């Protein structure tokens, strides 16, 4: 009986040892999977305000005006070279007018744009965009959806964008069409005022933005 018990114990020990060797490769395999997942961890690219730029274009019945706004800050999140999210801020106090050469007329329009009729820059010195969805279409093309905040009012906007990632540098380009009336900018809008005639300013204005970001 003792001999049988001893043989049984040896058999159980042998099975346990063999089982341990069988489990070991799975553990190593699991470790490899973990390492692979870590290698795909999202990387944050910090926006460089000095290299980034934004231009705006607004149209009215009798013509149009254009200018710039400085990018203040931002970051873009990339996972395996695919854009996943991010945000950027604009310094509304830096708005300029670039299409009027006459200094007096330029200053007049600029002052109006900074007033409460438009961007109220003393009250709202920052505008912000936060990505909520970045759908890759391939070849660096994306359909971007996110929340745009101007004058403390937030609305969802959707637009196409092109994003290229080259080693430690990312460049994102997009054109965003904005309905100014959704941000309480109603001055001379035919949607709210009648009989404006040729004094009408169209509701939509365009933002052409290029963000340059680095790891």
- Report the pLDDT value the prediction gives residue 37, as an integer from 0 to 100: 39
pLDDT in tens, 106-117: 999 999 999 999
In 40-172, which ranges are continuous DSSP H helix? 103-114
Segment 148-165 shows an average pLDDT of: 98
205 pLDDT band, cuts 50/70/90, is very high
d(CA 194, CA 204): 18
167 pLDDT band, cuts 50/70/90, is confident
Question: In the structure encoding, which two tokens stand for residue 173, read together?
Answer: 């380009």
**Contact indicator for 72, 90 with CB cutoff of 8 Å:** yes
pLDDT in tens, 57-84: 999 999 999 999 999 999 999 999 999 9
Tell me the whole-structure pTM to 2 decimals: 0.80
Segment 147-175 shows an average pLDDT of: 97
Cα–Cα distance list, 211 to 17, 121, 171, 203 (Å)? 59, 22, 6, 25
Of 209, 213, 211, the closest CA to residue 55 belongs to 209
Burial zone of 100 (CB within 10 Å; 0-12 exposed, 13-18 middle, 19+ buried): middle
d(CA 78, CA 172): 12
d(CA 202, CA 178): 11
**Kind of pairing between the strands at 201-214 and 53-60:** antiparallel
């Amino acid at each position: 009986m003792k001999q049988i018990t001893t043989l049984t114990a040896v058999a159980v020990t042998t099975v346990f040892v063999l089982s341990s060797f069988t489990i070991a490769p799975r553990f190593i395999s699991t470790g490899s999977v973990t390492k692979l997942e870590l290698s795909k961890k999202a990387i944050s690219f910090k926006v460089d305000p000095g290299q980034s730029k934004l231009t705006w274009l607004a149209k009215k019945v009798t013509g149009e005006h254009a200018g710039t706004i400085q990018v203040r800050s931002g970051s873009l999140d990339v996972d395996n070279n695919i854009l996943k999210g991010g945000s950027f801020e604009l310094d509304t106090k830096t708005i300029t007018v670039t299409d009027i050469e006459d200094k007096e007329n330029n200053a007049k329009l600029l002052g109006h744009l900074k007033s409460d009729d438009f961007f109220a820059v003393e009250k709202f010195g920052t505008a912000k965009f936060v990505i909520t969805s970045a759908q890759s279409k391939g070849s660096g093309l994306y359909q971007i959806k996110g929340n745009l905040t101007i004058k403390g009012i937030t609305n969802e906007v959707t637009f196409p964008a092109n994003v290229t990632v080259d080693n430690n540098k990312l460049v994102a380009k997009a054109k965003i069409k904005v309905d100014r009336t959704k941000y309480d900018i109603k001055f001379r809008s035919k949607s709210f005022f009648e009989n404006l005639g040729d004094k009408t300013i169209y509701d939509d204005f365009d933002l052409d933005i290029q963000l340059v970001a680095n790891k």
